[in-house]
Chain A
Amino acid sequence: MSYAEDLRRVRTREGRSVGSMVLIALGGLFWGYLLLRWLINWEWVPFGTPGEPLVSPETLGLTGGTATAFQSLPQLAEGAYITVLITVLSILLGLVLAVPLSVARVYGRWTKYLSLSFTELIRGTPLIAQLYLLYYGLNLSQFFRGLTQFGPFTVRTPVWAVDLGPLKVQTALWVALIGFTINSAAYQAEYIRSAIESVDPQQLVAARSVGLTQREGILHVVLPQTLRFAIPGWTNELVYLIKYSSLATFITVAELFRRADAVASDTFDYTAMFTVVALVYIGIVITATRLMGYVEDRVALPGLGQTRGRS
């Protein structure tokens, strides 16, 4: 097949849509399996045992590391739930903090220095040190023990009821959420700050000239443009956070990496386990970037954040 023919196939819409369909099919299998395992764990479906595969590896004729990996998939699915939960909640809560932090950084008088100090402190210290400070130093885990009886989270205790008992894992998860939220807020604030600075300052001048206050101008004119500019950087932070969330393993949160690590330590099938866990992370990351690409396209406006048809 000629190079030109290759190029034509790559460039045509048909070629692209076949690629997309394969990706969507793989994604459907991936998330379908995870969802099924979560439902089994919550006992929302009348079949399956939490933590046990539906078909034993022996039945499929698997041996060695492959069998170990297959046997551990339900465990990894549970871990993936925690990983997704930590990532989604931390990135969103982090965003809620990051917007005022970045606005303060650009427009604030004295709050600018507060925001700057916070950002530099968080970005200047290792995430693992921040998690250790919260978990071992401040002993937040003990603090949250009093909260475990509240809210919808107790309903999902079976998902976390592994290894160290539900109570401890659950409270550690709260600590991890706080740690990642604070950490992510600092990084997101930087992405958003640079996006604010890429909005033409005359936009705010125009808003003020119509009679809008500074606050209204920022809210209704600057930020809607900013958030569109910020999406690519923000996606980058999301991708980092998915993988950084594995640090929660060191404060005992039974997330994806910890599950794989535990099985690998027991069976010595390190290669198989870490290969499989890497594939699960890739699945989550590719889904995240595709979703954000979709969001970016959806919120794009003529002349603002358009990725397609840009000349």
Chain B
Amino acid sequence: MSDPLLRVEDLHKSYGDETVLRGIDFELERGDVEILSGPSGSGKSTLLRCVNRLTEPDSGTIYLDGERVSGAGTDVNELRRQVGMVFQDFNLFLHLTAAENITLGLRRVKGLGKAEARERAMEHLDRVGLADQAGSYPAELSGGQKQRVGIARALAMDPKLMLFDEPTSALDPELVGEVTSVMRELADEGMTMLVVTHEMGFAREAASRMMFLDQGQIVERGPPEQLFQHPEQARTAEFLQRITQLHGGEST
């Protein structure tokens, strides 16, 4: 068990002339909750999407649980089965109920039977406090509820790693808390999480580490307290100060 859960080596990504990631290296241990922070356009979301190859990196290598999961001869679907993803805009399947959103993957990917998939879906909906909304369609749910279903959908696949791409950015402020509290419970249960967020309250309370990205590079990385209180780089200090003024309030 000496391998880290996730190891990213020298990741590069460009879109045409624009270089988004210029050599990213980091590791995540099991149970780590790492915040990805940085200004708009710094490459946070791209980095997150490269980890489960929704965006294909130009070069670099990704290891999950000691196994190489990027590059030639690797199965992208196999990688995604082990990595859950939560999106900013929820991206629930619009034609399916909350429960069906979860059972689809369980049945098609995990090959569970109808009844078993349904049972698992209900467990996970219950876990995010939405068992009573199992039959609701996404259009009938609030933003916070949608995102909790999105989290349940990802969790039901038993991922080793969960990726969160600005999970609260599309939510009304009063709905942020219900999502961050689910995320915090998840962190407490030992889930390994990589989270792009501006919720500094959540970062302070739940994160084990924090990474500050700018212009496609990791500028600084360390425990959240250290980055907030004793940042080594001026860029980190300036950004975190501004973001804390905007999003720093205690998240509930």
Contacts from A to B (Cβ < 8 Å): 200, 202-203, 205-213, 216, 220-221, 224-225, 228, 301-304
- Given A202-B91, A207-B93, A209-B52, the answer on whether A301 and B80 have CB atoms closer than 8 Å is no
Q: Which residues of B contact A303 (CB under 8 A)?
A: 94, 137-140
With contacts A221-B93, A225-B94, A304-B94 taken as known, whether A209 is within 8 angstroms of B140 at the C-beta atoms is no
- Encode B56-93 as 1/0 by CB contact (under 8 A) with A: 00000000000000000000010011001101010111
> Contact partner of B89 among A202, A212, A224, CB < 8 A?
A202
A302-B137, A303-B137, A304-B139 as given contacts; A212 in contact with B105, CB under 8 Å: yes
Expressed in whole angstroms, the Cα–Cα distance for A211 and B91 within the complex equals 14
Check A206–B93 contact: CB distance below 8 A.
Answer: yes
Q: How far is the CB of A212 from chain B (nearest CB, A)?
A: 6
| B residues in contact with A211, CB < 8 Å | 77, 80-81, 105, 109, 157
| Pairwise interchain contact B95-A301, C-beta atoms closer than 8 A | yes
Assess the B139–A210 pair: CB atoms within 8 A: no
- Bound-state Cα–Cα, A211 to B104, Å: 10
The residues in B between 152 and 169 inclusive whose CB is less than 8 angstroms from any CB of A are 153-154, 157
Asked if B219 is an interface residue, CB under 8 A from chain A, the answer is: no
By size class, the interface of chain B is: 20 to 34
Least CB distance from B115 to A in Å reads 19
Asked if B108 is at the interface (CB within 8 A of a chain A CB), the reply is yes
Indicate with 1 or 0, residue by residue over B101-121, a CB within 8 angstroms of chain A CB atoms: 000110011000000000000
Within 8 Å by CB of A210, from B94, B104, B138, lies: B104
Query: Which residues in A have their C-beta under 8 angstroms from that of B52?
Result: 209
Q: Which residues of A contact B139 (CB under 8 A)?
A: 301-304
The 6 closest A-B pairs by CB, nearest first: A303-B139, A206-B91, A210-B105, A211-B81, A209-B85, A211-B109
* Residues of A contacting B95 in the complex (Cβ-Cβ under 8 angstroms): 221, 224-225, 228, 301, 304
Contact present for A205 and B140 (CB under 8 Å) = no
Q: How far is the CA of A303 from the CA of B136 in the complex (A)?
A: 11
Chain B interfacial positions (CB closer than 8 Å to A):
52, 54, 77, 80-81, 84-85, 87, 89, 91-95, 104-105, 108-109, 137-140, 153-154, 157
Complex-state Cα separation, A210 to B86, whole angstroms: 10
Taking the closest CB of chain A, its distance from the CB of B77, in whole angstroms, is 6
Chain A residues lying within 8 Å of B105, measured Cβ to Cβ, are 210-212
- Cβ-closest chain B residue relative to A303: B139
Cα distance A206–B91 when bound, in Å? 6
Q: Which residues of B contact A203 (CB under 8 A)?
A: 91, 93-94
Q: Smallest Cβ distance from A228 to chain B, in angstroms?
A: 7
* Nearest opposing residue in chain A for B90, CB measure: A206
Alpha-carbon distance between A296 and B92 when the two chains are bound, in angstroms: 22
Give chain A residues whose Cβ lies under 8 Å from the Cβ of B154.
Answer: 209-210
CB-CB under 8 A from A200, the residues of chain B are 91, 94
Indicate if the CB atoms of A216 and B91 lie closer than 8 Å: no
Shortest B218–chain A CB gap in Å is 24
Chain A residues with CB below 8 A from B54, complex form:
205, 208-209
Q: How far is the CB of A221 from chain B (nearest CB, A)?
A: 5
Question: A207–B93 Cα gap in the complex (Å)?
Answer: 8
Q: Complex: how many Å from CA A225 to CA B94?
A: 8
Question: Contacts A211-B81, A212-B108, A225-B95 hold; do A206 and B87 have CB atoms under 8 A apart?
Answer: yes
Minimum distance in angstroms from A223 CB to a CB of chain B: 10
Q: For the complex, what is the distance from the CA of A303 to the CA of B90, rounded to whole Å?
A: 15
Rounded to whole angstroms, the CA-CA distance of A298 and B181 in the bound complex is 38
**Best-buried of B91, B92, B138 by chain A (most CB within 10 Å):** B91
- Contact partners of B89 in chain A: CB under 8 A: 202
Given contacts A205-B87, A301-B139, 4 further A-B contacts (CB under 8 A): A203-B94, A207-B93, A210-B109, A211-B80
Name 20 A/B residue pairs within 8 A (Cβ), A-sorted.
Answer: A200-B94, A202-B91, A203-B94, A206-B87, A206-B92, A209-B80, A209-B85, A209-B87, A210-B109, A210-B157, A211-B157, A212-B77, A220-B104, A225-B94, A225-B95, A301-B95, A302-B139, A303-B138, A303-B139, A304-B95
